[in-house]
Structure 1
Amino acid sequence: MTPDQNETVRKIKEKASSLGLLACDWLPVTYLNTEKDYFDAWINNGMNGEMEYMSRNTDKRLDPRLLFEGAKTILIVLQNYYPDKVQEDKNAPVLSKYAYGTDYHFVLKDKLRQLHTFIREEIEPCTGRPFVDSAPVLERAWANRAGLGWIGKNSNLISLEHGSFFFIGELIIDIELPYPELKPVHDHCGKCTKCIDACPTKAIVAERVVDARKCISYQTIELRGELDEQLSGQFENRVFGCDICQDVCPWNLKSQPHNETNFQPHPKLLQLSKNDWETMDKPLFNELFRNSAVKRTGFNGLQRNLKFLGNG
């Protein structure tokens, strides 16, 4: 790259860092040809469960140029959510760490908009669109291609520097940028199978293949009906989401607490006792989770999950 191009790369990465992002890299938008067979097999085997949206717009998932007219560049960012404190009562129903604070969709999408504004005003005029689980984008595939990590045996993206407790977001723009030198990250899982061994419902049916129907996160968040009785007693007290396969991953020994104020939990949340959870009423739910991702399952969904844990 020329000195001017190097300066452009430096400016964008510096802006991303100033927004509190762990990492930011970008590459040309193209067709995800190597991911097609894996994704098709996953869908054809019904491993998406009731997430029918996963089987729609397959062409767009594999080619973001169909999502955004004129798409030329995709920027991929990582946002840390690893907390400095966890729930105090070891017997209380367990909430996934990512749901402690404000819904990440809002937080990360706002940062991507700010990054877009910076590029448009300081680098080159452009049109762009941010994505945070809000459209058919295969985020982990793009992050892997950008050299931000490898796909672990639990199917999560794992970073050499940061582990896996982070969100992934994308910004697609209609201009070409000077592309940073991307260094592919090789698989560093080795012979380790801690995530596979630790999954209480055996949802990781093969290396890098998760059957969502058995996954605690799917059951407690995505599923709209009754939970699978065949999994009763296997949730290890998880009430919304699940971090087990990440908690046991040796690479997460590198995880450092985030400094994102929006992800700080409600003052009462981490202090809830087992009884507090089991007797929670709707006003308390609304107070604790007003802007949280837990709103996705809602008060009734949380009550369903709590009842399932009690029955187990």
Structure 2
Amino acid sequence: MEKTNENASVRIKEKAIELGFLDCGISATRFLAEEKDRLVKWLQDGMNGEMEYMANHLEKRIDPRLLVENSRSVISVLLNYFPSDKQIDPEAPVLSKYAFGTDYHFVMKDKLGELLQFIQSEIAPCEGRCFVDSAPVLDRAWAARAGLGWIGKNTNLISTEHGSFFFIGELIIDLELPVDDKIVRNHCGNCTRCLDACPTQALVSPFVLDARRCISYQTIENRGEIDQALKGKFENRVFGCDICQDVCPWNLKSEAHHEPAFLPDLKLMNLTKGEWNGIDKSLFNELFRNSAVKRTRFEGLKRNLKFLEE
């Protein structure tokens, strides 16, 4: 397919910002050789825990041309979720910031769908797919290649302008676009705040996360019993964990989002420690009907609460 002109990329980025995205960058589809080597070693070391799906479709993870036929471009977008609200009770079990509002999968897919329609109608006819953390796509790798940030020592994508409290999504399309020829250098320097702050030592070395020790993995992905060796190390986290981001100096740049769908239910933010521990299925369904917290299910949340109290 013929390459579009430079103005096409500018218009796509402007539309992305108009839709509420924090940033947008474009890279060319290619085989991710370096990422493959790191991923294979990580899997061989068993650091994915029970996330067996991480080992599935390996070739698709590192080559988007196998996901979208004849794909030429990866359009990466960021969506801010940093909240202005805080949980009222300082002793209440702590919910990860990303789970305060509506499940981000729905919100981002809708916006990406609009962006794809814009490209098809205003830029050039094309085919493509939207991806939001639910398919074998290496989101952070593509965002880094699009110049949106660097992958930090805590394994999160970090932006010099926005910090790291954002979701990442992609459009992979069969239209060749001018790419962003800028790779953001690593700005972590000698800082080790994320490694030092992780209460379970899940960051086993800079840029390497052992998911089996990660609070997010244990409270969300793990379907069995939580590892008793981690007892007393969760710092009251009941679903997800933001510690390695909270201590990152680059997140001093974080500003509150303006996405209505991410605004939390005040009832949720006002829950006391006692109300959390006494939560029943009816209240769970009421508070988390459209939330990412549904992923752990009611039984999983009760397991997490019990682990914090024992």
| TM-score, structure 1 as length reference | 0.97
Q: Which residue of 2 aligns with 1:94?
A: 94
Matched, 1:304 2:303: yes
**Matched residue SS, 1:297:** helix
Q: Is the 8 A contact 2:153 2:208 kept in 1?
A: yes
Q: Which residue of 1 aligns with 2:103?
A: 103
Matched, 1:226 2:248: no
Listed one character per residue, the Cα deviations across residues 275-301 of structure 1 (whole Å, up to 9, x for unaligned) are 010001111111110000000001110
Listed one character per residue, the Cα deviations across residues 83-108 of structure 1 (whole Å, up to 9, x for unaligned) are 00111111000000000000000100
Alpha-carbon separation, structure 1, partners of 2:52 and 2:7:
44
Residue type at the aligned position of 2:259: E
Alpha-carbon separation, structure 1, partners of 2:168 and 2:41:
24
Q: Which residue of 2 aligns with 1:202?
A: 201
Q: Which residue of 2 aligns with 1:70?
A: 70
After TM superposition, give the deviation of residue 71 of structure 1 in Å: 1.1
Q: Equivalent residues in 2 for 1:242-253 (5 A)?
A: 242-253=241-252
Q: Which residue of 1 aligns with 2:135?
A: 135
Residue type at the aligned position of 2:254: S
After TM superposition, give the deviation of residue 150 of structure 1 in Å: 0.6
Matched, 1:238 2:262: no
Q: Which residue of 1 aligns with 2:152?
A: 152
Residue type at the aligned position of 1:304: R
Stretches of structure 2 that go unaligned for 5 or more consecutive residues are none
**Matched residue SS, 1:268:** helix
After TM superposition, give the deviation of residue 178 of structure 1 in Å: 2.8
**Matched residue SS, 1:26:** strand
Q: Equivalent residues in 2 for 1:1-312 (5 A)?
A: 5-179=5-179, 181-311=180-310
Residue type at the aligned position of 1:254: K
Q: Is the 8 A contact 2:26 2:178 kept in 1?
A: no
Alpha-carbon separation, structure 2, partners of 1:86 and 1:129:
35
Q: Is the 8 A contact 2:61 2:138 kept in 1?
A: yes
Alpha-carbon separation, structure 2, partners of 1:94 and 1:275:
13
Alpha-carbon separation, structure 1, partners of 2:268 and 2:183:
40
Listed one character per residue, the Cα deviations across residues 25-67 of structure 1 (whole Å, up to 9, x for unaligned) are 1111000011111111100000000000001111111101111
| Count of matched residue positions in the alignment of Structure 1 and Structure 2 | 307
**Matched residue SS, 2:300:** helix
| TM-score, structure 2 as length reference | 0.98
Alpha-carbon separation, structure 2, partners of 1:188 and 1:73:
27
Alpha-carbon separation, structure 2, partners of 1:288 and 1:74:
35
**Matched residue SS, 1:242:** coil
What CA RMSD, in Å, does the superposition of the two structures yield over aligned residues? 0.9
After TM superposition, give the deviation of residue 223 of structure 1 in Å: 0.3
After TM superposition, give the deviation of residue 6 of structure 1 in Å: 3.4
Stretches of structure 1 that go unaligned for 5 or more consecutive residues are none
**Matched residue SS, 1:25:** strand
Q: Is the 8 A contact 2:200 2:234 kept in 1?
A: yes
After TM superposition, give the deviation of residue 11 of structure 1 in Å: 1.2
Identity over aligned residues, as a percent?
64
Alpha-carbon separation, structure 1, partners of 2:61 and 2:114:
25
Q: Which runs of 4+ in 1 moved over 2 A?
A: 4-7
